[in-house]
Homo-oligomer: A and B are copies of this chain.
Amino acid sequence: MPHDHCPSCAAPDLAFVAHDHGPCASDALARAIAILAAKGLRLTPVRRRTLEILLEGHRALGAYDVLSRLASEGFGAQPPVAYRALDFLEEHGLAHRIRRLNSFTACMHIGENHTAAFLICRACNAISEAPATPSRAALDSAASAQGFAIESATIEALGLCPACQRAAA
């Protein structure tokens, strides 16, 4: 369900475009709070901080990167601390796992019911969450041709963002 009243839905993904990132982050955080409240789930300090860390940029962070940030801020220092927070965020649609990088990124379309496709720049590591509806529909159709029932889909592309293409040329 796209929100046409909000900037992040109307506009294409800004990951590859210079922009004021503050609103991206604060908007996402506000949505996260609303969604968890609606579901009766708790955005505890570790979880909130983990989400904020992911929201610092359009990139993916490994669990151990997140962990060292958390540890330096007084949270637990062992892997399950990070994995649990990240898994919670992913389970409730606030973050995504980037399989290609064994890492995690904040969801930029919180609250929209979506399959995400990720464009991963191999040069600058920026990650854009692209509209995946058509791609997902095509995948659904290939799956039903074999009688396969999809429960979750992973769609990721590795390549070069516009700026890094120019830099490489």
Chain A residues engaging chain B, CB cutoff 8 angstroms: 12-13, 15-16, 99-100, 117, 119, 121-122, 128, 130-132, 134-139, 141-143, 145-162, 165
Closest B residue to A14 using CB positions = B146
Contact across chains for A121 and B142 when beta carbons are under 8 A apart: no
Given the interface contacts A99-B99, A100-B99, A135-B135, does A150 sit within 8 Å of B159 by beta carbon?
A: yes
Q: Is the interface of A mostly helix, strand, loop or mixed?
A: mixed
Report how far A117 CA is from B146 CA in the complex, Å.
13
Contact across chains for B13 and A146 when beta carbons are under 8 A apart: yes
Q: Which of B130, B134, B149 contacts A146 (CB 8 A)?
A: B130
Contact across chains for A148 and B134 when beta carbons are under 8 A apart: no
